[in-house]
Amino acid sequence: MSLDLLTYLFIGGSFALYIGIAIWARAGSTKEFYVAGGGVPPIANGMATAADWMSAASFISLAGLISFVGRDGSAYLMGWTGGYVLLALLLAPYLRKFGKFTVPDFVGDRYGSSTARIIAVVCTIVISFTYVAGQMRGVGIVFSRYLHVDINTGVIVGMAIVFFYAVLGGMKGITYTQVAQYCVLILAFTVPAFFLSAQITGHFLPQFGLGATLESGQSVLATLDQLSVDLGFSQYTSGKKSTIDIFFLTVALMCGTAGLPHVIVRFFTVPRVKDARTTGGYALIFIALLYTAVPGVAGFGRVNLIQEVNGPQNTGTAYAEMPSWFKNWENAGLLAWNDRNGDGIVQYAAGAAFDAKKGKPAFIDERGEHGQRMTSNAKTDASFDAAKQPFANEVYVDRDIMVLANPEIAQLPGWVIALVAAGAVAAALSTAAGLLLVISTAISHDLMKKTINPNISDKQELMYARLAAVVAICIAGYFGINPPGFVAQVVALAFGIACASVFPTLMLGIFYKRMNTQGAIAGMLVGLVSTVGYMWYFVFGGGNSADYFMGISPGGFGTVGMILHFIVALVVAQMTPPPSEEMQRIVEDLRIPRGAGVAHDH
Amino acid sequence: MSISPEQAQAYWKENLRIIYTYLAVWFVASYGCGILFVEQLDAIQFFGFPLGFWFGQQGSIFVFVVLIWMYVASMNKLDEKYDVHE
């Protein structure tokens, strides 16, 4: 069976499954639409949380990132898993006991202020939209690579599918589709990882394989270190970033994870406080299955790539003899070759082969003498520092290739490649749906029902929720087709806002009875403004890295924003009257699990 | 809501102690072993990994998983003890 047919079969089959589930799990009330009726079993909820959480970035980009930065990638691995410890210990049980539908709902009711609620709504919507744009784009990219359709067609197909189950089923539909999507994506990630690990090290599990010894008698990591240094890269197992920068980045990612509205809302769907804690446990197990395999995939992929391109002698391979994957991905624009020394041999080392930010090639519609794609920004001189590396780098490698092309580089069977395509789509769709739901809920529940017109009926509110979901899907699709040129920074912004604004205000609301409206509003604003301002200045405002505050890069500044938030909120709260006796009693009550409200079964 | 205010306070105190204990482990496993003392730990080899690198990329995640489940068990026991379970 041809690869195209297999891919259509896998993706088509998975879509049919999602639609089937959506029809089975239609939502009839706002409670079903917002929190799936509040009756999801923790293990299913854990899977749904994992699928919700693991986006196109986790599936496609994370292994690639680690592959190229080595040790410094630890910040992402720890940050994106350690946040669940904070969620399970500090937020989830108490928020569940409070018994609301959304994050702005908690903020608005706890601090008794519609200003606070609206700030939380703004944070929620900004975080979710910045995040969702990348997902739609991810779906489009997978479609164009594997099914040879236009990226825009891919985005539209993705929109249609999400539309179907998010608008029809609400949280209920999304939850059960996410369970299916988790199964697809975890198989799609781990199966190639097993193959790869077994092929290179003889160990089935990539978690062990990365430490294994190769035929040469050296361990995989030692081989990577040596290959990297020989080619002028920095050592794989040592970091380049300063300790303080990594520290702050990790804190920002952890607290940001704990403050993401689409993740928090998943903890509202379980029947009991106890189940909210257990959900955190299950979710992290399911996430860890993928995350602990990532460093293996990153390491093996890197070794494979270097050895395939540079050959066994580490001198390069003639372009004419390059395996077919190289040319396939060159055609897809993720690889490029610039024959700087004119010898017809492809050589890979440190440094940029093309004259642009991050060495990205600008392809033109021409082929060179060996049949390679030509670019308008190829570097012409072939000079290099012979003390550091054996030759000048001639290759551009996009980081995303590590997961997408790995199965081809390792010559795995066609069905594995088709599975990877279906998995990438599942990862993107599940996250997109969760985000869209949060956006629509924030609008229909927190804006319409709680702020603008409290008199609307449940039916009307449900209609607004569906309407808001439709609008949100259209906006997300627009960003998928016309992506802003700064996707990576935008995701850092989402985590920064969640870390500096949402997370501290929830913490204070639960753990500090005396926290009042004024303190909360001041804190959220300070966190939001300082973080957004800092990122804006360094991303768009022309600030350069020499001016970083204490050497902290914009991605880690959310931590500073969080500290400012805590200080300002506490100081302002001391200077203003305490919250009402009634509110203090409610806070005491949310600390006791019993009486979380009877769950609705469905 | 049959629990007395004194009982509720005692429950909350023990709850906080459990949280502090587990967060201390959480901090040591990730920020301690994976970031702050990573260079010292890297001198130790652990199943083919430099130990600090292992903590940063694998070990801390395993610790997190175990931590949450231990916390779940501790809290279930505490809820029973104070009779506030559901």
B21 within some domain: yes
Would you call A272 and B62 a contact, using CB atoms and an 8 Å cutoff?
A: no
Same domain, A136 and A94: yes
**Is A599 inside any structural domain?**
no
φ/ψ of A338, rounded to 5, equals: -125, 105
C-alpha of A199 from chain center: 29
Closest alpha carbon to A45 in A285, A282, A287, A289: A282
Of A439, A594, A561, A557, which is closest to residue A126 (Cα–Cα)? A439
The band of A32, judged by pLDDT with boundaries at 50, 70 and 90, is confident
Residues A381 and A290 in one domain: no
**Considering only residues 466 to 495 of chain A, which have any Cβ-Cβ distance to chain B shorter than 8 Å?**
none
Most confident of the ranges A30-44, A303-317, A565-579, A582-596: A565-579
**Structure tokens, A377:** 């920004």
Q: Which residue bears the tokens 């809820």?
A: B79
Work out the minimum CA distance from B2 to partner chain A, whole angstroms: 10
- The number of distinct structural domains making up chain B is 1
Q: Among A18, A507, A52, A495, which Cα is nearest to A265's?
A: A52
Verify that A374 and A390 share a domain, yes or no: yes
Rg (alpha carbons) of chain B, rounded to whole number:
18
Using pLDDT thresholds of 50, 70 and 90, give the confidence band for residue A83. Answer: very high
Q: How high is the ipTM of this complex?
A: 0.96
Residue where one domain finishes, among candidates A352, A383, A403: A403
The total domain count for chain A is 2
Percent of chain A with pLDDT over 90: 49
Rounded to an integer, the average pLDDT of A387-400 is 89
Q: Which chain B residues are closer than 8 Å to A272 by Cβ?
A: 86
How far apart CA A256 and CA A254 sit, in angstroms, is 5
B49's enclosing H/E stretch is strand B49-50
Q: Kindly provide the residue ranges of all beta strands, DSSP E only, lying in A345-441, ordered along the sequence.
A: 345-346, 363-367, 373-375, 395-397
- Diameter of chain B measured on Cα atoms: 56
Spatial CB neighbours of A16, under 8 Å, sequence gap ≥ 6 = none
Asked if A591 lies within 8 A of B12 by C-beta distance, the reply is: yes
B68 in reach of chain A (CB within 8 A): yes
Give yes or no for a contact between A172 and A178, defined as CB atoms under 8 angstroms apart.
Answer: no
Task: Look up residue A100 and give its amino acid.
Answer: K
Residue B79: list chain A partners with CB under 8 A: 274, 593
- B4's CB contacts (< 8 A; 6+ apart) are none
Least reliable range by pLDDT among A19-23, A86-90, A292-296 = A19-23
3-state secondary structure of A375: strand
**pLDDT computed for residue A146 by the predictor:** 76
> B57 to chain A nearest CA, in Å?
5
- C-beta atoms of A78 and B76 within 8 A: no
Question: Is residue A595 in a domain?
Answer: no
The whole-number pLDDT of residue B3 equals 79
A291–B contact, CB cutoff 8 A? yes
Residue B44 placed within a domain: yes
pLDDT digits (tens, 9 = 90+) for B42-78: 999 888 899 999 999 999 999 999 999 999 999 999 9
Query: A3: part of which helix (H) or strand (E)?
Result: helix A3-24
Same domain? A508 vs A548? yes
Q: Side chain identity at A334, as an amino acid letter? A: L
Q: What is the pLDDT of residue A508?
A: 96
Please indicate whether, in this complex, the C-beta atoms of B76 and A274 are within 8 angstroms of each other. Answer: yes
Which of A403, A436, A466 is the last residue in one of the domains?
A: A403
Average pLDDT over residues A255-275: 93
Q: Is B49 inside any structural domain?
A: yes
For the record, the structure tokens of A503 come out as: 């997370």
Q: Answer yes or no: do A464 and A556 share one domain.
A: yes
Do A350 and A376 share a domain, yes or no?
yes
pLDDT of A542 > 80? The answer is: no
Average pLDDT of the residues of chain A: 89
Residues of A in contact with B51 (CB under 8 A): none
What letter represents residue A184's amino acid?
V
- A62 and A180 share one domain: yes
**B19 in a structural domain:** yes
Helices (H) and strands (E) in chain A, counts: 27, 6
- Above 50 in pLDDT, residue A600? no
Confirm or reject contact between A213 and chain B (CB < 8 A).
yes
Q: Do B60 and A81 touch (CB under 8 A)?
A: yes
Tell whether the model's pLDDT for residue A419 goes beyond 80.
yes
Alpha-carbon distance A118 to A447, whole Å?
Answer: 8
Q: What is the pLDDT of residue A601?
A: 34
A255 and A559 in contact (C-beta within 8 Å)?
yes
CB contact, 8 Å: A77 with chain B?
Answer: yes
List the CATH number of the domain containing A258. 1.20.1730.10
Nearest chain A alpha carbon to B68: A281
Question: Which pLDDT value is given to residue A23?
Answer: 86
Position A450 scores a pLDDT of 87
- In a domain? residue B73: yes
Tell me, yes or no, whether B50 lies in a domain.
yes
Evaluate if residue A440 carries a pLDDT over 70: yes
Two structure tokens written together for A366: 């021409």
User: Would residue B86 count as lying in a domain?
Assistant: no
- Please tell me the total number of residues recorded for chain B in this structure: 86
Interchain contact, B34 vs A274, CB within 8 Å? no
Which pair of tokens denotes residue B7? 């009982």
A7-13 average pLDDT score = 91
Distance CA A89, CA A66 (A): 28
Q: Does B1 touch chain A (CB under 8 A)?
A: yes
User: A454 and A327: one domain?
Assistant: no
Q: How far apart are CA B86 and CA A594, in angstroms?
A: 5
Nearest to B84 among A78, A588, A594 (CB): A594
- Model confidence pLDDT, tens digit, residues A558-573: 999 999 999 999 999 9
Asked if A362 and A226 sit in the same domain, the reply is no
Per-residue confidence (pLDDT) for residue A489, from 0 to 100: 64
Chain A CB contacts of B1 below 8 Å: 589, 592, 594-595
What's the mean pLDDT in A18-22? 88
Q: Which residues contact A111 (CB under 8 A, 6 or more apart)?
A: A509, A515, A516, A517, A520, A521, A579
Rg (CA), chain A: 25
Angle of helix A114-147 versus helix A487-497 axis, rounded to 10: 150
DSSP code, position A330: H
| Closest CA relative to residue A205, chosen from A214, A213, A196 | A196
Residue A425, token pair as written in the block = 């789509």
Average pLDDT over residues A219-231: 90
**CB interface of B with A, residues 38-67, below 8 Å:** 38, 42, 46-50, 53-54, 56-58, 60-62, 64-65, 67
B18 belongs to a structural domain: yes
Residues with Cβ within 8 Å of residue A503, at least 6 apart in sequence: A86, A91, A255, A256, A258, A259, A562
Where are any strands of DSSP class E within A293-422? 317-318, 335-337, 345-346, 363-367, 373-375, 395-397
Up-side HSE of residue A508: CA atoms within 13 Å toward CB? 31
Residues A459 and A368 in one domain: no
End position of a domain, from candidates A355, A382, A403: A403
Q: Are residues A288 and A180 in the same domain?
A: yes
Which residues in chain B have their CB less than 8 angstroms from residue A288's CB? 61-62, 64-65
Q: Predicted confidence band at A35 (pLDDT cuts at 50, 70, 90)?
A: confident
Q: Is the pLDDT reported for residue A31 higher than 50? A: yes
> B15 in contact with A at a CB cutoff of 8 Å?
yes
Query: Is the pLDDT assigned to residue A334 strictly greater than 90?
Result: no
Nearest-Cα distance to chain B for A68, in Å, is: 14
- Confidence bin at A57 (pLDDT 50/70/90): confident
In this model, does residue A595 exceed pLDDT 80? Answer: no
Contact check, Cβ <8 Å, A88/B72: yes
pLDDT at residue A173, rounded to an integer: 87
Weakest-pLDDT range from A24-33, A101-110, A316-325, A421-430: A24-33
pLDDT tens readout for residues A449-462: 888 888 888 888 88
DSSP A601: P
**pLDDT at residue A107 above 50?**
yes
Do A289 and A314 belong together in one domain?
Answer: no
Distance in angstroms (rounded) separating the CA atoms of residues B34 and B53: 7
Q: Give me the residue from A73, A591, A594 closest to B86, CB to CB.
A: A594
Range of the domain at B37: 5-81
Q: What is the DSSP string of A504-526?
A: HHHHHHHH-TT--HHHHHHHHHH
If you count DSSP H runs as helices and E runs as strands, how many of each does chain B have, helices first?
4, 2
For CA atoms B41, B47, B53, B57, give the dihedral sign: negative
CA distance A288 to chain B (A): 7
Q: Can you give the residue range of the structural domain that contains A263?
A: 3-300+413-590
Q: Which of A39-53, A139-153, A215-229, B5-19 is least confident? A: A139-153
Measured between alpha carbons, how far apart are the two ends of chain B, in Å? 11
Q: How does residue A487 score in pLDDT terms, banded at 50, 70 and 90? A: low
> Which tops the pLDDT comparison, A395 or A359?
A395
Specify the pLDDT at position A567. 97
